[in-house]
Amino acid sequence: MAAPWRILSLPPLGEDIVRGLFGSFGDTVEVAFPQTRDRAGLLAALPDAELVIGDFSAQLKLDAEAVAAAPHLAFVQMPAVGTDSIDGAALAEAGVPLANTAGANARGVAEWAVGAAFALCRHLVWGDRHVRAGEWPQTELLARGTREVHAQRVGVVGYGAIGAEAARLFQVLGCEVSYWTRRPRASAPVRYRELDDLLATSDILVLALPLTDETRGLIGPERLALLPDKALLVNVARGGIAPDDAVLAALESGRLAGAALDVFDEEPPPADSPLRAHENVLLSPHAAGGTTQSQRNIVTMLLDNVTRAVQGHAVQNVVNGVDPQVRRR
């Protein structure tokens, strides 16, 4: 009988949840967890690991050093779409496939982007804050320049599952929607524009692309300056794509009338970050995809891929270019 596969599950997935997921696997797997949620705990747990379920909060990073500490590692499954906290190249060099759960939370994130656009256009957070403080700023709210979402031109940067779904939802609302991606889609039902042109024609700019070496700082000060005056920014991608200081500068200059940020350069942002105090910023704790439905989809995809690996079948959604056939080392 073959030895059980040794699975290392990283937090914040709870131990009870993980043990429940793999309870039906019997003695074909052994599930372990780091003793402490820190770098030392991760490195201490890796030497025996064959399959790793990643940390979707990105606190525990699988960098090159961590990969080197796992000589038996055969497969890494990220319970999320983003994999920027994992060194995919180091895994590829070791012949280890890295998979994500692409599309699992696309509807949830896209709905958050649309909801955030409504909140910014109508100053919902500002109004709520002042009414809770005992005020009744009816005329002041109107003076801030409320808008109807359907009248806005929407530009979507990134056209994967999330970007495409966000574009579809905005189009249903009656918005003029355009998109940019490195590889235009011939079948896309919305208009493709070159990036600078997209920025110059976007009243609402939605960022929905992965963080890579090529996209880091992509929407910096120069590109934010291309936006129409009083544009709105919705970022459901990664903070490093539109750096926090560039966003803050655009808000202070008036180029941006508001920003809805689910992601930041540093998560959580520092306690003294000016973004925390800015009245035209909607803040969210990197939870745009955190719906019951999305989490169910992620768990289903995770369980399916681990099952494939354990049973000797090719895994799905490999993102680092490695053969999807998992092989024990």
The predicted-structure confidence for 280-320, as pLDDT tens digits, reads as follows: 999 999 999 999 999 999 999 999 999 999 999 999 999 99
pLDDT tens for 161-186 read 999 999 999 999 999 999 999 999 98
pLDDT tens for 36-63 read 999 999 999 999 999 999 999 989 999 9
Q: So what's the pLDDT on residue 80?
A: 92
Percentages (nearest 5) of helix, strand, coil residues in the chain: 40, 15, 45
Residue 200 contacts residue 141 (beta carbons within 8 Å): no
Q: So what's the pLDDT on residue 2?
A: 84
pLDDT of residue 1 exceeding 90, the answer is no
d(CA 128, CA 96): 49
124-132 and 106-122 helices, crossing angle to 10°: 60
% of the chain exceeding 90 in pLDDT? 96
pLDDT tens for 117-146 read 999 999 999 999 999 999 999 999 999 999
d(CA 205, CA 119): 14
Q: So what's the pLDDT on residue 135?
A: 97
**How much is the average pLDDT of 67-75?**
97
**How much is the average pLDDT of 29-33?**
96
pLDDT of residue 27 exceeding 80, the answer is yes
**How much is the average pLDDT of 31-38?**
96
% of the chain exceeding 70 in pLDDT? 100
d(CA 91, CA 318): 11
Cite the DSSP H helix spans in the chain: 15-21, 39-45, 64-68, 88-93, 106-122, 124-132, 138-143, 161-172, 195-200, 221-224, 244-253, 274-277, 292-311
Q: So what's the pLDDT on residue 329?
A: 87
pLDDT of residue 274 exceeding 70, the answer is yes
pLDDT tens for 228-245 read 999 999 999 999 999 999
Q: How many CA atoms lie within 13 A of 208 on its CB side?
A: 33
**Catalytic residue positions, numbered:** 238, 267, 286
Which pLDDT band, with edges at 50, 70 and 90, does 112 fall under? Answer: very high
